[in-house]
């Protein structure tokens, strides 16, 4: 489908619920335009037939009736204008709401690869600023197009009825203005694309700085961030200055053309009136129509300019809409039998190979089995592929054909509906995300209907209940944006409680105990062992003390499985695990662990 058809289809799609308001606005606008077109004719009639003739003696003696007529026309015009504007507002906001709702919903379903390739600030701009540009054009400017066309037709009809020669003179200026506006449209379109992209980059800088403010302060990068922002801001400002200069040139030349049109009509109209080819009333009415036409025709340039902006914004929004969603099935179609995780529901990675980019392998020929209900540890350095394993398990990234398989209970995970698969797996990341809400709301995010008793039970297992109760507001304590009012360890434990409340049969701890001390780490693992005996637990860590109690431990090195076994088996093997153990554990620590 070509771009123009896609734009038309998008407009029709998002206009659902707005068509009635838009139709009423169009009719009201045309009514206003028609009523305004009557006013010069009333003046013409008053001057030529009432004041300058003797046919309407009654009206010449009761001029107040003409004044009442003018007031009535103005009143009706005002009412029509009110109806037009109110319905335009309703149509515009409904249109924008539909677009924002669909964009946000669609973004939630886009795969991780898409998010990796697109900056957050740019996505935000496409879903906000670009939507507003489209709304402004489709509703406001499109309505203006209808009004302008009707005004031109009506005014020219009135002008032709009064004086054909003057009307043809005015008509000569119209194509000049339209061609001039079209040239301007082409010039501004390319520049607006560059300026819009620059705005997206500027938004990204601000968004990254705001979310990473603690890192900026901790490493003293304020000067670097300010210089970075100033550079982007200067580029952005210069681009818009050039656009403003181009617009100034357009309006300046346009004023010259329309000024010549008005002057030409006045000069020729005066000559026609002197010769008696046109009456005084007709000349005044004709000049009024000509002045009325000047700004709508000039407005075509503004409409074309906004059209260029809307066209760019449509392409930017369409870029999101065209992105393929992950494949979800409706809940009623899902097979919920796996939720019970019977004994046969082992997790199996079978000769898995994966890379985020072509030619860059992250996992190479990984094969292992995790029996249902056991605790499985994964040890490895940065970039070894630990987190990638879990992301593949949850299908945040998809395995390519021929690159191995991942099965749960003997069923390939690609055959399991995504919402069902992700309902099986609960995960806590090393840097968990917390909402800017209360601690209670953050824990209950995975189970909104959970009772306070259930929330506290999960918090106790995560060893965060005592810390929460020490706050003045307890579980009603606001954690601030991204949980900044809590320590790193507290954020991790709140996230663990949130996952526990979800009661997923598979629980993944992706280095999510890294910010807690060893004693709290041991307490959490002990509590998990006591309360989650039938749950399959995957522990990912670089800390051996976190993994020692696992039923099975796999050691990854540069995307390959180096070795696997229990803690004591790996110690005896004398391989990479034993070397890491020696580095991490002092002699006193080992003696204390043995005791």
pLDDT in tens, 203-213: 777 767 776 66
Question: Which of the four pLDDT bands, split at 50, 70 and 90, describes residue 419?
Answer: confident
- Would residue 547 count as lying in a domain? yes
Positive or negative, the CA dihedral 99, 105, 109, 110 is positive
pLDDT at 66 > cutoff 90: no
Q: Whose CA is closest to 539, among 446, 427, 457, 463?
A: 427
pLDDT at 586 > cutoff 70: no
Tell me how far apart the alpha carbons of residues 415 and 524 are, in angstroms, rounded to a whole number: 34
At residue 473, the pLDDT reads: 87
- Would residue 144 count as lying in a domain? yes
- Is 419 within 8 Å of 425 (Cβ atoms)? no
Residues 488 and 571 in one domain: yes
Q: What is the mean pLDDT of residues 536-545?
A: 85
* Residue that terminates a domain, selected from 264, 295, 322: 322
* Residue that terminates a domain, selected from 297, 322, 347: 322
Percent of the chain's residues with pLDDT above 90: 7
- Would residue 378 count as lying in a domain? yes
Q: Which range of residues forms the domain containing residue 276?
A: 3-322
Query: Which region among 264-278, 290-304, 465-479 has the lowest average model confidence (pLDDT)?
Result: 290-304
At residue 432, the pLDDT reads: 77
What would the two tokens of residue 391 be? 């992301």
Q: What is the mean pLDDT of residues 502-506?
A: 85
Residues 261 and 356 in one domain: no
Burial (CB < 10 A; 0-12, 13-18, 19+), residue 155, is buried
- Would residue 68 count as lying in a domain? yes
Higher pLDDT, 49 or 225: 225
Residues 529 and 555 in one domain: yes
At residue 589, the pLDDT reads: 57
Query: Which region among 5-19, 32-46, 337-351, 534-548 has the lowest average model confidence (pLDDT)?
Result: 337-351
pLDDT at 332 > cutoff 60: no
At residue 219, the pLDDT reads: 61
Residues 434 and 557 in one domain: yes
Query: Which region among 261-270, 332-341, 465-474 has the lowest average model confidence (pLDDT)?
Result: 332-341
Question: Would you give the distance in Å from CA 33 to the centre of its chain?
Answer: 38
Q: How far is CA 149 from CA 156, 236, 314, in A?
A: 11, 36, 24
Residues 312 and 417 in one domain: no
Residues 89 and 199 in one domain: yes
User: Domain containing 273 — which CATH number?
Assistant: 1.20.1560.10
Query: Which region among 53-67, 244-258, 463-477, 500-514 has the lowest average model confidence (pLDDT)?
Result: 53-67
Choose from 27-31, 206-210, 308-312, 541-545 the range with maximum mean pLDDT.
Answer: 27-31
- Encode pLDDT of 439-471 as tens digits: 898 888 888 888 898 899 888 888 888 888 988
Tell me how far apart the alpha carbons of residues 134 and 18 are, in angstroms, rounded to a whole number: 14
Residue 356 CB partners (closer than 8 Å, separation 6+):
113, 116, 362, 397
* Number of domain units in the chain: 2
Residues 316 and 346 in one domain: no
pLDDT at 524 > cutoff 60: yes
Question: Which of the four pLDDT bands, split at 50, 70 and 90, describes residue 240?
Answer: confident
Residues 374 and 296 in one domain: no
Residues 313 and 386 in one domain: no
Residues 301 and 361 in one domain: no
- Would residue 331 count as lying in a domain? no
pLDDT at 342 > cutoff 50: no
- Encode pLDDT of 181-190 as tens digits: 777 767 776 7
Residues 225 and 371 in one domain: no
H or E element in which residue 498 lies: helix 488-502
- Would residue 330 count as lying in a domain? no
pLDDT at 331 > cutoff 50: no
Q: What is the mean pLDDT of residues 255-270?
A: 83
- Would residue 250 count as lying in a domain? yes
Q: Reduced to 3 states, what is the DSSP secondary structure of residue 342?
A: coil
- Encode pLDDT of 393-413 as tens digits: 988 888 888 889 999 988 888
At residue 341, the pLDDT reads: 44
Tell me how far apart the alpha carbons of residues 570 and 582 are, in angstroms, rounded to a whole number: 12
Question: Which of the four pLDDT bands, split at 50, 70 and 90, describes residue 343?
Answer: very low
- Is 347 within 8 Å of 407 (Cβ atoms)? yes
Q: What is the mean pLDDT of residues 265-285?
A: 81
b/e per residue 215-234 (b: at least 16 CB within 10 A): ebeeeeeeeebeeeeeebee
Percent of the chain's residues with pLDDT above 70: 87
User: Domain containing 405 — which CATH number?
Assistant: 3.40.50.300
At residue 339, the pLDDT reads: 46
Q: What is the mean pLDDT of residues 296-309?
A: 70
Q: How far is CA 582 from CA 141, 229, 402, 442, in A?
A: 72, 46, 39, 39
Residues 424 and 492 in one domain: yes
């Amino acid at each position: 489908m070509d771009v123009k058809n896609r734009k038309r289809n998008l407009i029709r799609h998002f206009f659902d619920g707005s068509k009635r308001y838009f139709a009423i606005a169009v009719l009201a606008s045309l009514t206003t335009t028609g009523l305004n077109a009557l006013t010069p004719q009333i003046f013409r009639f008053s001057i030529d037939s009432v004041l300058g003739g003797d046919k309407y003696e009654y009206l010449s003696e009761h001029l107040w009736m003409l004044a009442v007529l003018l007031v009535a026309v103005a009143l009706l015009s005002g009412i029509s204008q009110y109806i037009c504007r109110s319905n335009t507002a309703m149509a515009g906001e409904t249109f924008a709401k539909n677009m924002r709702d669909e964009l946000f919903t669609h973004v939630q379903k886009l795969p991780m690869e898409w998010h990796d390739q697109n900056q957050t600030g740019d996505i935000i701009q496409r879903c906000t600023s670009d939507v507003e540009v489209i709304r402004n054009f489709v509703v406001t400017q499109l309505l203006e197009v209808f009004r302008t066309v009707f005004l031109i037709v009506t005014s020219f009809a009135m002008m032709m009825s009064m004086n054909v020669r003057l009307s043809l003179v005015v008509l000569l200026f119209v194509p000049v203005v339209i061609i001039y506006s079209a040239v301007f449209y082409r010039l501004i379109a390319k520049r607006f694309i560059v300026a819009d992209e620059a705005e997206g980059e500027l938004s990204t800088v601000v968004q990254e700085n705001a979310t990473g403010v603690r890192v900026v302060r901790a490493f003293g990068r304020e000067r670097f961030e300010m210089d970075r922002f100033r550079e982007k801001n200067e580029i952005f400002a210069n681009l818009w200055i050039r656009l403003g200069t181009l617009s100034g040139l357009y309006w300046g030349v346009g004023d010259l053309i329309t000024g010549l049109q008005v002057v030409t009509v006045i000069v020729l109209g005066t000559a026609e009136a002197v010769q008696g080819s046109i009456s005084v009333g007709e000349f005044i009415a004709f000049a009024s129509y000509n002045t009325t036409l000047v700004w709508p025709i000039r407005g075509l340039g503004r409409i074309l300019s906004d059209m260029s902006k809307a066209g760019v914004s449509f392409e930017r929004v369409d870029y999101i809409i065209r992105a393929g969603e992950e494949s979800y099935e409706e809940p009623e179609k899902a097979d919920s039998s796996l939720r019970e995780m019977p004994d046969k529901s082992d997790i199996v990675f079978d000769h898995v190979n994966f890379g985020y980019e072509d030619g860059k392998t992250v996992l190479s020929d990984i094969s292992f089995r995790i029996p249902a209900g056991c605790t499985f540890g994964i040890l490895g350095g940065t970039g070894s592929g630990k987190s990638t394993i879990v992301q593949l398990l949850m299908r945040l990234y998809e395995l390519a054909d021929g690159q191995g398989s991942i099965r749960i209970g003997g069923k390939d995970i690609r055959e399991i509906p995504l919402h069902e698969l992700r309902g099986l797996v609960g995960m806590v990341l090393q840097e968990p995300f917390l909402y800017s809400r209360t601690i209670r709301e953050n824990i209950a995010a995975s189970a909104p209907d959970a009772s306070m008793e259930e929330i506290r039970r999960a918090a106790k297992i995560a060893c965060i209940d005592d810390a929460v109760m020490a706050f003045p507001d307890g579980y009603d304590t606001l954690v601030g944006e991204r949980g900044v009012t809590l320590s790193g360890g507290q954020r991790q434990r709140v996230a663990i409680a949130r996952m526990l409340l979800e009661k997923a049969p598979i629980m993944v701890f992706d280095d999510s105990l890294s910010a807690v001390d060893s004693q709290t780490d041991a307490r959490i693992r002990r509590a998990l062992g006591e309360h989650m005996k039938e749950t399959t637990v995957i522990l990912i860590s670089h800390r051996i003390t976190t993994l020692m109690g696992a039923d099975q431990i796999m050691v990854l090195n540069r995307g390959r499985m180096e070795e696997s076994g229990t803690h004591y088996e790996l110690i005896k093997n004398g391989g990479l695990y034993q070397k890491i153990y020696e580095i991490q554990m002092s002699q006193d620590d080992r003696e204390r662990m043995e005791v």
